[in-house]
Amino acid sequence: SFILTHYHGDHYSGLPRDGAYAGPARIHCTPVTAALLRSVHGVPPEFIVEHSYDESWVHEYEGADDDNGTTGTTCTRQATVTFCDANHCPGAAIVLVQLPDGKVHLHTGDMRFHPRMKDYPLIKKFAADRSIDLLYLDTTYPHPKHDFLAQEEAVDSIASQVEEIFQKTSKSTLVLLSCYSIGKEKVLWECAKRTNKTIFVNDRK
């Protein structure tokens, strides 16, 4: 099995398109990512398993029949997995894994921190207990110089500038907004609301 944290190209690279993926491994992801895999990528539905945010599910795998792996034999083991909203693109997930030996692994995936993440029930519990044993951290922008605005502030700033442009210029003005195939929908939506203008995107978007 695979876990796909979100539908961005640097994460699904190598995954065959247009029905070419023949398994046998199944892809575990959120419902939004699942819909994109089916409708955009063309992955057959039988290879996709959806899990909603904050709903824990059990993954079975073959592992050592003791925690130290000293016996040389294997058995079916179970890990409990929970997806949380990563505040990245639609459907993006933080992955919390509780292993059968009691250890807890937290994989942030691509995420944008928001204060509400401190209240995610399981993450809050394990963080308070200091029982997260391994952290896989998104370090795309670890340097202190990358001091970004909160997402809400960034969206407001862009939409305000677009609104101001239309207030000062003629109706024939064209505003171009840079977007990924998946992502920055909040920017488009807010600009459309404030200006009462139609947003045009390509077929893929």
For 74-105, how does the pLDDT look when each residue is reduced to its tens digit (9 = 90+)?
Answer: 888 999 999 999 999 899 999 999 999 999 99
Least confident window among 29-33, 46-50, 132-136, 178-182 = 178-182
Q: Which residue has the tokens 């795998």?
A: 61
- Rounded to whole angstroms, how far apart are CA atoms 160 and 169? 14
Least confident window among 44-53, 60-69, 132-141, 196-205 = 60-69
pLDDT for res 74: 81
* Cβ–Cβ under 8 Å, residues 83 and 94: yes
